[in-house]
Structure 1
Amino acid sequence: MSNRPRLVLAGLSGGAGKTIVTLGVCRALARRGLTVRPFKKGPDYIDASWLGLAAGREASNLDPFLLPADLVRGLFFEKSAGCDISVIEGNRGLFDGKDLSGSFSTAELARLLCAPVVLVLDATKMTRTAAAIVAGCAAFESGLSLAGVICNRTAGERHRSILRRSIEEYTGIPVLGMLPKMPENPIPERHMGLLSNREYDRQEPILDTLADCVADCVDLDRLLHLAGTAPDMEQPDALSITDWAAPSIPPDDRHAPAGRPRIGVVRDAALWFYYPENLEALTRAGADISLVSLLSPDPWPELDGLYLGGGFPETMARALADNLDVRDRVRGFSRAGMPIYAECGGFMYLCRELRVAGETFPMAGVFPLTTTLCPRPQGLGYSRALVRRENPFHPVGFELAGHEFHYSRCLACLACLDGPPAPPPGPESFCLEMKRGAGMLHGLDGLLSDATFAAYTHIHALGTPHWAGNFVAAARAFRARREKARP
């Protein structure tokens, strides 16, 4: 058995202020000199990035849809080792899941981890009704420990007094904090939630301001005590990431040279959505990782594979288009048969063009498609996709559990900036059949060109146990072919 102090901060809905509260709690506890490990429930890159910055330690995502339950526990157990407290931010409302029964909700995650829950309640224009809401949440599902409440956006001392007395008298659940209304959102938002910390140059002052507010308005000592009441955890039977990185598709060349292939990972202001476990899985499967940029003029090392994650290529469209050398380099890699894996924003970069606000920008040109930004989401939420075609990364017949969140959609190149249009890819070019989710076109996703695979679907390496091993095996085989072809 092992002690793992932990708690879940949850809300009644999206927009309740739980991210702001969680950031303030993580930074305030870290400033006390505590080792704080942040986690984010659900498929989210932006909040997780902010949480890591606030706590001073990288955040991991925990989600019972993306990962089997034993691996959720295993990942939490591995990442929380040696920490004074683990703070898990929920997503959406406490009981909101993918269906009527609330499958894969924050409440389900809290039960899975035996973690006490603190409800962040938006108390705007509310007094005694808050007690009814808290009582309802406490009784709604069995096995949930609703152990505290933090009231957010309170109006004044009289308001706070009535809220506290009502909640504690009618429910018996302690109120651990009362945060005032903030004159403005300290972190601006846009279509995918909070503005990313990579696009905002005042991260540290903002996080310290939130920590000051939380330190003044939340009883952090009681919060720490509450986290310490979580029961000790048995080491899960789930195996570590190391055991989930073996290839399931034999490499093309069994005579690949010894040593570790080098996989480039694009991390810059355009593309930076990666689960840390995906990069860890590649490393543990035998690859060396080199961070590269689509925006910088700096040279790249010799690579055997390339991983382009999601992000916001639309915010850097002109800079991406202007870096012709890198566009040509990536297209050349693809035509040479280098294994390339791209998710969402990475797929947008690999298309021929990107259209943003009436302007059209040339991209890498691997796929004969244009992506265009739309005012509403074109794909949103959990997804499931059946692998229908052979490819270097996923075995045929496997059903991927993933997620998509994109405002772009793809079109055939009817008129192109840099040459005649090419025929759009037919159904035979797609590796994934969407069982849930939108995908690219006609219910399909996962375009394949040579050894370049691109999809709107994001995956988590622990829920896709073959992916890292297959990627590394393909990179090793590519390096062998390249070495053999050299004089």
Structure 2
Amino acid sequence: MTDRLAKHQPHAAPQGASSARAVNHRPRLVLAGLSGGAGKTILTLGICRALAVAGLRVRPFKKGPDYIDAAWLGLAAGRDATNLDPFLLPEARLPSLFLEKSRDVDISVIEGNRGLFDGMDLAGSCSTAALARTLLAPVVLILDATKMTRTAAAIVAGVAGFEPGLHLAGVVVNRTAGPRHRDIVSGAIEQLAGVPVLGLLPKIFENPIPERHMGLVSNREHGAVDAILDNLAAVIRQHVDLDRLLAIARSAPPLPDSTAPVAAISGPVPAAGPAPVIGVVRDAALWFYYPENLEALERAGARLAFVSLLDDAPWPDLDGLYLGGGFPETQVEGLAANTATRCRVKTLAAAGLPIYAECGGFMYLCQGLDMDGRTHAMAGVFPVTTTLCARPQGLGYSLARVVRANPYHPVGTVLRGHEFHYSRCQAALGACSGEAPGLPGPEAFALTMERGVGMLDGRDGLLFKNTFAAYTHIHAEGAPHWAMNFVNTARGYAKAKMPPAAGRG
């Protein structure tokens, strides 16, 4: 690291700058690749860690619906990462969300996903490039130069001129073979493509962060997290010009004043009285939550209490329960062995406790989880099982239409969400017998999938009393009704269980 970076002081707006510039001038850059696997996550982690260690206040962002990379980015930077997704969130909300989350930091680092121009259609909608244009952010491309020299310049030149409005500010070359290779490839890019080379990374023969079937191994499953991130930072300091990266980030223009507020919370105005307590399962099995979802519940009037499915710690008196996604398959023995908690969840569901579950949370609410030739008992709220498969069973963005009344989503709403699961729901559609266990009929599902897989035959969103479970993940900013409806249902449950004239302190 250079002396100039080591002695860095937090960046201030130039003297005489306008108030708009002082407020909305947010140093930022987007790190993007030509495809998945180019090395952008490793680069982003190393940059965030190196800058944070140097004393800068770093805010990481992740483009796309990714929980695992976002968790690692938060650890690297020392601040929670925020997902910015042009599909899940209204386009007008992206700049204002970025401005809110980048307040009072020195630099924002945004990791792209897939290839820079890869979107949902031929026009490249919802791509990393589209997000960079929305945020007026300079782009730094990470390029895998394996067995490539002069061709790298042709690729970079093509990227630089492919779409109007994209500012390709620099390149970091990855997986270089040696000094001669680095000299030729960097010279070709700078002289023939006219784009600065900001770093030349050597080949790293062993992945510093092990991967699993859903991408990087969770930070909750891997020890020595700090050592891994510090090693990445050391590599980046040695091979990437961080001062030039900072200068590029600071060259980003001010963002216009945004008028898109936090997603409006729709639904009845909450009644006065004690805040309902919503339990949020956060442990090694279930931990996939967008921070904005939890913030939305609090804004709607809830008090959150974090609980675990894996230990015997007592739970507070709950008025609702939120089970996010995660890796129940990695903790299946512990989940199955904790009979008391499985029975507690099933009893609460039968009593009408509002329960909202996504993906891994749905798997826990089933009768069992089949894997490795065994069926492991789960909570048994729904009369189905799930089976872990070798290949993805649902992957990508989804559109789900609400077709059945439920406490959380109005009928007729089209939910913009995403799926990422290797498990498959095991059941055949049958006659639903209401309270009694039995195969679910079509009327047991609240959602029909217009895009995506869901649980069974294009359906998703199983219902039982006030319990709703789906493979579909949602983002509260794109479903502004959800938080208030959840909290109002929890408030009604709390009121119903109170004795007459009683209150809660």
TM-score (norm 1): 0.95
- Select 1:121's aligned residue among 130, 138, 143: 143
SS at match of 1:341: strand
- For 2:161 and 2:214, how far apart are their aligned partners in 1? 33
Amino acid at match of 1:158: R
Give the drift of 1:412: 2.3
Q: Which runs of 4+ in 1 moved over 6 A?
A: none
- Select 2:266's aligned residue among 223, 239, 246: 246
- Select 2:120's aligned residue among 98, 123, 128: 98
Give the drift of 1:486: 9.9
SS at match of 1:8: strand
Structure 1 residue 229 corresponds to structure 2 residue 244: no
- For 1:346 and 1:334, how far apart are their aligned partners in 2? 13
Which residue is 1:350 aligned to?
365
Which residue is 1:418 aligned to?
none
Residue correspondence of structure 1 range 91-240 to structure 2 within 5 A: 91-240=113-262
Which residue is 1:66 aligned to?
88
- For 1:297 and 1:208, how far apart are their aligned partners in 2? 35
Give the drift of 1:332: 0.9
Residue correspondence of structure 1 range 293-312 to structure 2 within 5 A: 293-312=308-327
SS at match of 2:306: strand
Q: Unaligned 5+ residue runs, structure 2?
A: 1-19, 430-435
Identity %: 66
- For 1:274 and 1:431, how far apart are their aligned partners in 2? 22
Give the drift of 1:267: 0.2
- For 1:468 and 1:175, how far apart are their aligned partners in 2? 46
Which residue is 1:437 aligned to?
452
Deviations 1:373-420, CA, capped at 9 Å, x for gaps: 011110000000111011000001111000000000011299xxxxxx
- For 1:466 and 1:364, how far apart are their aligned partners in 2? 28
- Select 2:462's aligned residue among 430, 443, 447: 447
- For 1:131 and 1:485, how far apart are their aligned partners in 2? 76
Which residue is 2:6 aligned to?
none
SS at match of 2:309: coil
TM-score (norm 2): 0.92
Amino acid at match of 1:135: A
- For 2:96 and 2:170, how far apart are their aligned partners in 1? 26
- For 1:66 and 1:413, how far apart are their aligned partners in 2? 31
- Select 1:32's aligned residue among 44, 54, 58: 54
- For 1:383 and 1:392, how far apart are their aligned partners in 2? 21
- For 1:396 and 1:424, how far apart are their aligned partners in 2? 23
Deviations 1:320-351, CA, capped at 9 Å, x for gaps: 01101100111111111111000000000000
- Select 1:464's aligned residue among 479, 487, 491: 479
Which residue is 2:299 aligned to?
284
- 1:399–1:70 CA distance, 2 compared to 1 (3 A): same
Maintained 8 Å contact 1:412/1:423: no
Which residue is 1:258 aligned to?
273
- Select 2:97's aligned residue among 72, 75, 89: 75
- 1:332–1:413 CA distance, 2 compared to 1 (3 A): farther
- For 1:227 and 1:337, how far apart are their aligned partners in 2? 51
Maintained 8 Å contact 1:6/1:87: yes
Maintained 8 Å contact 2:405/2:446: yes
SS at match of 2:160: helix
Give the drift of 1:234: 2.2
- Select 2:420's aligned residue among 386, 405, 416: 405
How many corresponding residue pairs? 474
Give the drift of 1:127: 0.6
Deviations 1:70-106, CA, capped at 9 Å, x for gaps: 1111110100011100000000000111112111000
SS at match of 1:213: helix
Q: Unaligned 5+ residue runs, structure 1?
A: 415-420
Maintained 8 Å contact 1:121/1:150: yes
Give the drift of 1:108: 0.4
Structure 1 residue 334 corresponds to structure 2 residue 349: yes
Amino acid at match of 1:199: E
SS at match of 1:435: strand
